[in-house]
Amino acid sequence: MRNPPLHLLRVPLGPLLGEARLVGEGKADVFPVFYTEEAFGKAEQCSRKGAEINPRFESGAVLAGFLCTCPESGELFVVVTDTFEVTDAESTLVSLEYSGKSWARIQAVIKARQVADPAVRILGQAHGHNFVPNDGQTCADCPKLEVCSSSNVFASTDDRNWTRAVFVRQPWALCHIFGLTARGDLVQGLFTLHDARLLKRDFHILPGFDPGRHQTCTITP
């Protein structure tokens, strides 16, 4: 069975980097990831929704947008433009299991959008670790720290297995976790595959992104 064609947008990378806000340390050993402000805000809202309800539960969203290639450098990067809340899922405090209905709804939306723009695709997922780590116990130095060092933002074994299973042969797959520290600070981290592991990395936030301004190119296997 042949793999389907891969559709990408041809987008100059330099101008995006110039207008985006960096979140993280700016390491150069990973491909660039961009969110629009709106997509990032909705991803966080959906992921933290489970912290607002008693009992708390793990909530999340699917991230969608575009694979892009820079016509000047040839670099591959992704732009997240849409976020779809995961509904009809089985959730506990520490797990979020998509149902067939969950996937069917999201895939129907993506397929409808691909009629007009074939480059739209699912890029990954976001979810909330909506429990307080270490039972809320903090260390003696906590009042002096800008951010508490006891955090629940990490990629679990389930996160790694899910990413590898759902996004097989898609090294750009995103796993964004929104969590808490022991004293209740809101923290987050984006993880992507690197050296066969899900590692935390930086990303950029754009005020907006118009895919209609850019040419679509197609790679046929």
The predicted structure's pLDDT at residue 17: 96
Q: DSSP 3-state assignment of 131?
A: coil
What end-to-end distance do the CA atoms of the chain give, in Å?
11
- Helix (H) or strand (E) holding 79, with range, is strand 76-85
The predicted structure's pLDDT at residue 166: 85
Residue-range domains of the chain with CATH: 6-219 (3.40.140.10)
Query: Residue 21: CB partners within 8 Å, gap ≥ 6?
Result: 204, 205
The predicted structure's pLDDT at residue 9: 98
The predicted structure's pLDDT at residue 2: 65
DSSP summary character for residue 2:
P
The predicted structure's pLDDT at residue 25: 80
The low-confidence residues of the chain, meaning pLDDT below 70, are 1-2
User: Which neighbouring-strand residues pair with 191?
Assistant: 175, 200
The predicted structure's pLDDT at residue 164: 85
Q: What is the pTM of this model?
A: 0.92
- Pairwise CA distance, residues 81 & 211, whole Å: 9
Q: Give the CA diameter of the chain.
A: 60
- Helix (H) or strand (E) holding 127, with range, is strand 120-128
Query: Residue 97: CB partners within 8 Å, gap ≥ 6?
Result: 89, 90, 91
Angstrom distances, CA of residue 11 to CA of 14, 32, 39, 121, 213: 9, 12, 19, 16, 9
